[in-house]
Amino acid sequence: MEANFFKQIAKMDLQSKVTLTIAKATEDKIVVSILVQNDGCGDKAKYIIPPLNLKGTAEELDAEFFSHIKKPIESASGLMSNMEAFMKQMEEAKKQSAMEKEKADKAKKEKDVKIKKYNDAMAKAEALEKEGKFKEAWTALPKASEYPDHAETIGQKQNLYQSHFAGDLFASPQNQNEEPLAEVNV
């Protein structure tokens, strides 16, 4: 006698473990309980999937067993596989979300530090300006290349400070009180 039970199982699309329990219900009836389990699935919803129960004579089960179980078993197995894939994607999404939030927080902190550094440098330069220390004030200014959004303001301050400590070669002399030298006749 050749049985094709395992050939039929091999043809099914299963990604889960299938547990069969076979018991005699009456003298001529058999009960087959089929439970689909997937240990890799982390979703607890898998536990509410009930076993598939079939009851019939040996002849009925031989003739129609696989036609009755194929679709529900494959569906339950596929559902558990999808639940596991879903759970993995959810975990990945949580990680990505946490990573993105961390990146955004880090970028915000860096921006805040940069703004504070700019404000501190400008305050120091202005304090030195009030003391009349224009060279030191010019040196204390932040670099325009590091703060392109403030490059115009920085440039204006640099020009202002520079005008106080570096004379303009082409400007007229400020002291016009000097008398020209008298001509000497020899």
pLDDT in tens, 145-161: 888 888 899 888 888 88
- List, in order, residues 6 or more apart from 57 with CB less than 8 Å away: 28, 29, 30
The whole-angstrom separation of Cα 165 and Cα 27 is 114
Better-scored residue on pLDDT, 1 or 98? 98
Provide the whole-model pTM: 0.44
**H-helix segments, 28-184:** 58-130, 134-140, 151-165
In whole numbers, what is the pLDDT of the chain averaged over residues?
82
- Amino acid 177: pLDDT: 45
The whole-angstrom separation of Cα 141 and Cα 122 is 6
- Encode pLDDT of 28-61 as tens digits: 999 999 888 888 887 787 888 888 898 999 999 8
**Residue 18: phi, psi to the nearest 5?**
-115, 125
User: How sure is the predictor about 116, in pLDDT bands with cuts at 50, 70 and 90?
Assistant: very high
